[in-house]
Structure 1
Amino acid sequence: MRITKGFVDKVPLPQIGSDGKPAQAFYRDSTISGFGLRVTSGGAKSFIVEKRVDGRVKRKTLGRYGNLTVEQAKKEAMKFLGKVATGIDPIREVSEKRAQRITLSDAFKDYLATRKNLKPNTLNDYNRSMNEMFKDWQTKALSDISRDMVISRHTEYGQRSPARADNGMRILRAIFNHALQRYQDSSGKPFLASNPVEVLSHQRAWYKVERRQTLIKDHQLKPWYDATMQLNNQTTRDYLHLVLLTGLRRTEAATLTWDQIDFKDKTLTITETKNNRIHRLPFSDAIEELLQRRFDEKSSPFVFPSDAERGHLSEPRTAVARVTKLSGVTFTLHDLRRTFITAAERLDIPAYALKRLINHKDPNDVTEGYIIFDVERLRLPMQKITDFFIQQFESDSDV
């Protein structure tokens, strides 16, 4: 049929389908091949244009009737068809123009969409950097973020925290690397000239913050333990003790649920780990006693519940600060893991047993893949480490 104003005004609306979903109908113009009208059961009338490009039918919505007249829509359709006739794909052209001006915010969202296995802490770290370090860059096009801007922002934040400055720039570098591969023209050429964050490597501007090596020393263990026993919150106290006695990472311990605890086999299992390898640990006597007591009083699926929306304990900064004040021992939760590892090394725990206890995976150790490790072989080393800590907790502080 010939699409005219009169036809569009009187065109019947399609009926809603038997499944209750809105329906739509298409009407093709007899005078301009490819020009048409789409009508929905809700009353929306939109002009479209269709043409086969590179073996595939491409459809573009030109606009709604009312915003465009029939004549205006036909002129837009002719422009589209004219470009196709000269070998141009108008839809790809629009897509490429949009990609050339992709903003940091949109590129970040696209980057996250391709990283579905990010751990919650990693995701929070990424979002924090975007919202703090690059808050005023969110609406900027990637192509407008220059090397000089990167150097200036890195220096600015480096004066506050070199570690956060480096971490934020690593995240930004990953987003640009993703964009270089993601946003390309029809010939496969990236729209971005380069990754501006690489300037930090060229100028050797990374701060290269040394990893913390702090831990709780032997003579500090008793005052630290005594201070934890003064905490009013039993959940927080037990959490700190479990992290020290198992060497678990803070999130692994905080998110423990009761279905990860097996009192029959006397083991706990971490499924979401940093290296994606299931981590199973045996109980020592003290660990079993702690978990059994918590199980007898359980009120949540989580071993360490919280009233927060997430349902489980988060990093107990207030408790850590109070223990530090009471004991005089400054520490972080990761210091407890380092203390566990150091104690195990001093007790001459076999190397492969220690690797399993802390779930450390060495990609360069080709023999590791040939060793089948039974969790029972970890029970004696685990008990040995616990006994060492208990001995320190009960020692005479004056000695």
Structure 2
Amino acid sequence: MKLTNTKVKSLPIPTDKGQVFHWDSETRGFGLRITSAGSKSWIVQGRVHGKTRRFTLGPFELLSADEARKRAQAKLLEMYDGKDPQVEKRKHKAQGETLREVMEDYVEHKRTKHGPLRPTSKDDIRRCVEGTFSDWADKPVATISRDACIRKFRELSRTAPVQTNQSFRNLRALLNWAREKNATADGTYPILPVNPVSQMFRKGGLVQWNPERARATRIPKDKIGAVWAMLEDHANPDQNITTTCISADLISFMLLTGTRVGETSKLTWDHVNLDGKLPTFHLAETKNHNSITLPISSALHDVLGRRWAGRLKGNKYVFPALRGRKGYLSDPRALFKKVSEVAGVHLHPHALRRTFEDVAQLVGIDSDKRRQLLNHLASDVHGQNYANNPDPGVLMPAMKKIGEWITDQGGIARAAATGENVIALKA
């Protein structure tokens, strides 16, 4: 049957199957598909490299039989020349995919060995695309060239070299994602045959990663007591606003436990046990994906006791935010500035983690227990199979020593500031 507009209109809708095909008697491979929902579409079917390929030309309502036949003949010639119409369609679609579209697909579907990306990782990638690469965000990734990346990298490196490194690592991951998701079955890449970020860093390339020095800042030993005394003063609700008190307790918690700011700020009350023979807190979401339960020392119990007394109704977080959608205090920047002034060095949250390690060494905690307290995963056989007791009670003596040393230093600093007898104070 030769397919014409009149004949197609008279063809029945299938009721006993999902779809039926009607093939044209004049042009081999040209046909019409009708679904049980009443949809009619022109199709063409041929062979490419020995494999059958079927391609939709368009809906019957928009294409006449004559126009559809012409398109079918053109597609059949392409298939005869070895071009797969499905591959060509994907290539065309890939050419128009923007960096923002790639980003959204990446954050939704990317999986690591630990599972989906964390919210913090997703936020970092979004900030990268919508901030650092905002002028590229709505342009096709296929247009991002090596030369454009080189110019951008050099420009950004002048003012923020370390942040530029991280931004381009994120961009490299996104472009790799775009390449792989559009790769064909035979392993060819319709877009970005070579990742332009990887290309510019190749051996003998035109740019090199900016040097990154490991940070080593911490609170000097002789300033820890003064810092602790200051935090205690700012945690007093009778003398400070609520946000200041919460910030002081959050920083105190980090100093007494060595936890990261992201782990601390997201701690919820259902993961804190203040009562019982062994008070503990549990970190469910950690940087290395190793959840851990740690003991609560007396000094830490005092901090959490203040937070419990000042908890906000309807808020599950130990260190709540008074405004904003997050619900938790994530950046005690204002008080950190004051901590830096007392310490005499510019500090950031991770400096408290190094300070915790220093104090642990000072009070004689062995390396295995320090590693466990900091939730560092062991790489040696002994650490992996022996020095890995998950019982938080094993770590209580160490946590107690650290807390007592810090609070003692705070008492000494306060006595020195007020002229009290330090020996009498200790007694």
- Category of TM-score, reference length = shorter chain: 0.7 to 0.9
1:241 to 231, 236, 252: 252
Deviations 1:34-63 (Å, cap 9, x if unpaired)? 51144574x754434455767876543322
Amino acid at match of 1:225: L
Answer yes or no: is the 8 Å Cα contact 1:96–1:185 preserved in 2. no
Shift of 1:394: 1.6
Shift of 1:64: 2.8
Deviations 1:215-249 (Å, cap 9, x if unpaired)? 22232424542563364123333222212211111
After TM superposition, list the pairs within 5 Å mapping 1:8-157 onto structure 2.
8-9=8-9, 25-31=19-25, 33=29, 35-38=31-34, 41=37, 45-50=40-45, 58-99=53-94, 102-112=97-107, 113-115=109-111, 117-157=116-156
2:329 to 313, 317, 325: 313
Shift of 1:391: 1.1
1:269 to 275, 282, 290: 282
1:251 to 239, 254, 262: 262
Deviations 1:110-149 (Å, cap 9, x if unpaired)? 4432235322222222221212221112344445433332
Shift of 1:279: 1.8
Distance in 2, matches of 1:160 and 1:210, equals 16
Question: Which residue of structure 1 aligns with residue 215 of structure 2?
Answer: 212
Amino acid at match of 1:303: V
Taking structure 1 as reference, are residues 13 and 168 closer, same or farther at Cα in structure 2, changes over 3 Å only?
same
Shift of 1:212: 2.1
State whether structure 2 residue 414 is matched by structure 1 residue 392: no
User: Where does the alignment leave 5 or more consecutive residues of structure 1 unmatched?
Assistant: 16-22
State whether structure 2 residue 336 is matched by structure 1 residue 333: no
State whether structure 2 residue 241 is matched by structure 1 residue 232: yes
Task: Give TM-score, length-normalised by structure 1.
Answer: 0.83
Distance in 2, matches of 1:5 and 1:203, equals 61
Question: SS of the residue aligned with 1:94?
Answer: helix
Amino acid at match of 2:292: H
Shift of 1:343: 1.2
State whether structure 2 residue 197 is matched by structure 1 residue 194: no
What number of residue pairs does the alignment pair up?
391
Amino acid at match of 1:252: E
Distance in 2, matches of 1:121 and 1:25, equals 46
Taking structure 1 as reference, are residues 215 and 397 closer, same or farther at Cα in structure 2, changes over 3 Å only?
farther
Identity of aligned residues (%): 30
Question: Which residue of structure 1 aligns with residue 165 of structure 2?
Answer: 166
2:377 to 358, 361, 367: 361
Amino acid at match of 2:145: S
Amino acid at match of 2:186: S
Taking structure 1 as reference, are residues 257 and 98 closer, same or farther at Cα in structure 2, changes over 3 Å only?
same
Question: SS of the residue aligned with 1:378?
Answer: helix
Shift of 1:397: 3.8
Question: SS of the residue aligned with 1:135?
Answer: coil
State whether structure 2 residue 294 is matched by structure 1 residue 294: no
Taking structure 1 as reference, are residues 3 and 327 closer, same or farther at Cα in structure 2, changes over 3 Å only?
same
User: Where does the alignment leave 5 or more consecutive residues of structure 2 unmatched?
Assistant: 420-427
Answer yes or no: is the 8 Å Cα contact 2:47–2:80 preserved in 1. no
Deviations 1:346-371 (Å, cap 9, x if unpaired)? 222110100110111244x2332212
Taking structure 1 as reference, are residues 165 and 308 closer, same or farther at Cα in structure 2, changes over 3 Å only?
same
Answer yes or no: is the 8 Å Cα contact 2:49–2:82 preserved in 1. no
Distance in 1, matches of 2:261 and 2:228, equals 21
Distance in 2, matches of 1:52 and 1:194, equals 30
Question: SS of the residue aligned with 2:293?
Answer: strand
RMSD: 3.3
State whether structure 2 residue 297 is matched by structure 1 residue 284: yes
Deviations 1:311-339 (Å, cap 9, x if unpaired)? 22222334434655688764222222222
Question: SS of the residue aligned with 2:360?
Answer: helix
Taking structure 1 as reference, are residues 176 and 27 closer, same or farther at Cα in structure 2, changes over 3 Å only?
closer
Answer yes or no: is the 8 Å Cα contact 2:90–2:182 preserved in 1. no
